Structure 1
C-alpha cells in the first residue's frame, strides 16, 4: 500500500472472492498446489547427468592446468598426459553424490 492507496489490494481481494465463487459452482476450476503432477521434478537420471558433466569439466580443467604448467618446462622429454590423470576423480564424485 503506497500513499494509502488500497486499489491494488482491493483488486486482489476481489479476484480471490471471484475465484471462490466460481469454485463453488464448478469444482474443476480448483487447482491442487500440493499435487505432485503440478510440481516440476528433476529425476535422478538428469541430476546424475548434470553431476557427470560437472565432474568431467573439472577433470578436463585440471588436466589442462597440469599440461599448461608442465609443457613449457619439459623441452627434451615428451609430455605424457596419462601419468597425470586421476582415474578415480569422476567415480569418487559420483559415488559421493549418490551416497549423500
Structure 2
C-alpha cells in the first residue's frame, strides 16, 4: 500500500527529469500525445538545446530550418498547461 512519502517519491521520479530541462524540446517529445509532434512541419525542426534566440519558455519552443534560421513556435494550450503543472511540482519538491 502506498503512503504519502512513496507517492511523493513516485511524483519526483516521473516529473522532475522533464521539469529540469531548460529547453522545451525534451518536454515536447515526452508529451507528444498532448503537445503534438514537434516534427510535423517538415521545414521547421526543434533545435533541442541549441537555440540562439529567446523563446518564451512557458509558451514556445525553438525551431530552425535547413538554413539554420531559428524562430519560436507556440505550444498548444493543453501543452502549456501541462508544462506549467510540471514546473509547479518541481518548485514544490525543491522547497522540501
TM-score by length of 1: 0.28
More relative contact order, 1 or 2 (CA 8 Å, 6+ apart): 2
The structure in which a higher percent of residues are strand is 2
| TM-score normalised by L of structure 2 | 0.29
Give 1 or 2: higher helix fraction: 1
Q: Choose 1 or 2 for highest CA Rg.
A: 1
